[in-house]
Amino acid sequence: MTDLDGIWGSVVNELMLDLVHQTLILEISVPSHLEKASHHRLRFEGVSDFRFANRIPGPWSYVELTEVRVRPTTNGRIVAELLLWSEEASLNVEAERATLDDFPLG
């Protein structure tokens, strides 16, 4: 399983939700003060639930992916909670599979 701590505090550059293929992709970058930002792809396949909850006034100047939690369910699926700035804004996803840079999560 891939460790997600390295993408905490990253910036969401793009979010793509493909309803036809039931896929969600987040293109993210991790800022660095010492070198160039690293770029990553967080991908969910077989998405059956996608929710955006927000109580932070917008528009925002950018989106910080503050924290990511992924866990398997008892029926073999993946549930992910992605906090944006704080617990006041989040994305919640249930999917068949999740990967970070093609490495399995959950």
**pLDDT given at position 2:** 61
pLDDT tens per residue, range 18-42: 999 999 999 999 988 778 889 999 9
Residue 36's Cβ-side half-sphere holds a number of Cα atoms within 13 Å equal to 3
Which strands form 103-104's sheet, in the order they lie side by side? 49-54, 86-95, 78-84, 64-72, 10-18, 23-30, 38-45, 97-100, 103-104
Residue of 100, 91, 102, 104 whose CA lies nearest to 17:
91
Cα three-residue angle 85-80-4, rounded to 5 degrees: 70
Q: In Å, what is the CA distance from 65 to each residue of 19, 20, 75, 94?
A: 23, 26, 27, 18
Closest CA to 4 of 32, 40, 36, 51: 40
pTM for the whole structure: 0.92
pLDDT digits (tens, 9 = 90+) for 1-17: 467 888 988 999 999 99
Judged against a pLDDT cut of 70, whether residue 62 lies above it is answered with yes
